[in-house]
Amino acid sequence: MYTVFVKYALPNPVPRSAILEGFKSVEDRFRNTPKLIRKYFCYDEASHTGYSFYLWEDEASARGFFNDEMKAEFKQKFGTEPELDFVDLLMVVDNDSGQTLFNE
């Protein structure tokens, strides 16, 4: 498993409700993304900064998703470039399922 942390500071304040509606509008895109296990959409309204956390099956899928075209679309939509951190995920404690997952 592989994780990507995305951070983006919006150039202007946006209300939480508007950000949530925008997130809802792209649900289907992420529901149908191959090898994407889970995506978290987060927003700090006080600093007008968005955060996303992606859990991928593998590093190649994670890096392939964040290609130059995707980054250009992101910049056009949000008016800023995302900061991307790619990280090997070693273990997940999932209290919903009662499982612990290991990436050995």
Chunked mean pLDDT (size 10), the chain, 104 residues: 96 95 93 95 96 96 95 91 96 95 92
Q: Which of 48, 41, 56, 42 is nearest to 13 (CA)?
A: 48
What pLDDT, on a 0 to 100 scale, did the predictor assign at position 23?
94
What pLDDT, on a 0 to 100 scale, did the predictor assign at position 19?
95
89, 1 contact by CB (below 8 A)? yes
Architecture of domain 2-102: 2-Layer Sandwich (3.30)
Q: Where are the domains of the chain?
A: 2-102
Q: Give the three-class secondary structure for 82.
A: coil
**Number of neighbouring beta carbons within 10 Å of residue 39:** 19
pTM: 0.89
What pLDDT, on a 0 to 100 scale, did the predictor assign at position 37?
95
Task: Say how far apart CA 1 and CA 54 lie, in whole Å.
Answer: 10
6, 81 contact by CB (below 8 A)? no
